[in-house]
Amino acid sequence: MKNVMLKIQGLQTSIDGEENEIELITEGKLYQKGNAMYLVYEESELSGMEGCTTTVKVIQDQISMKRFGKAKSEIIFEKGKPYNTNYHTPYGMFDMEVLTKDMTYSLTDEYKGELFIEYFVNLEGIAESTNQLRIKIM
């Protein structure tokens, strides 16, 4: 397991064009198990997920993200494939559909790299948005 610095950038654009952007620099852990790479980090107040731990797993053409803590969710990103899941929050559970538009990742032998995911979210018909997530491993 290697300690790494992560720069996490998120951009959420609602269907009416309103943008919400966050940027967070945090410590995380990176490790490999079999043919999968894992990133683990603590969320902060800035991300709106304070009290949660996020684990990102990268394996071939799939990236999954699990959150534990105050909010619980698991999302599997596969380009062009919809994914249905439950999003557990302190306010209740919501049905969520995610459609991955694009995703890329790279990692050097020095454990530097980047993950990028662009995806569409429909949260039980209450909220719809296009999202971009970029995680830089520094």
Task: Give the three-state DSSP class for 101.
Answer: strand
Q: Which amino acid is at 127?
A: A
CA nearest neighbour of 79 among 64, 65, 61:
61
How far apart (Å, rounded) are the C-alpha atoms in residues 88 and 105?
27
Residue whose structure tokens are 């909220």:
127
DSSP three-state, residue 46: helix
Sign of CA dihedral 20, 23, 28, 33: positive
Per-domain residue ranges for the chain? 2-137
What is each CA distance from 10 to 19, 21, 46, 88, 91, in whole angstroms?
10, 6, 11, 20, 23
Say if domain 2-137 classifies as CATH 2.40.128.20.
Answer: yes
pLDDT digits (tens, 9 = 90+) for 94-116: 999 999 999 999 988 888 999 99
pLDDT of residue 85: 94
Tens digits of per-residue pLDDT, 50-74? 778 999 999 989 999 999 987 788 9
Residues 6+ apart with CB under 8 A from 104: 114, 115, 116
pLDDT in tens, 11-39: 999 999 999 999 999 999 999 999 999 99
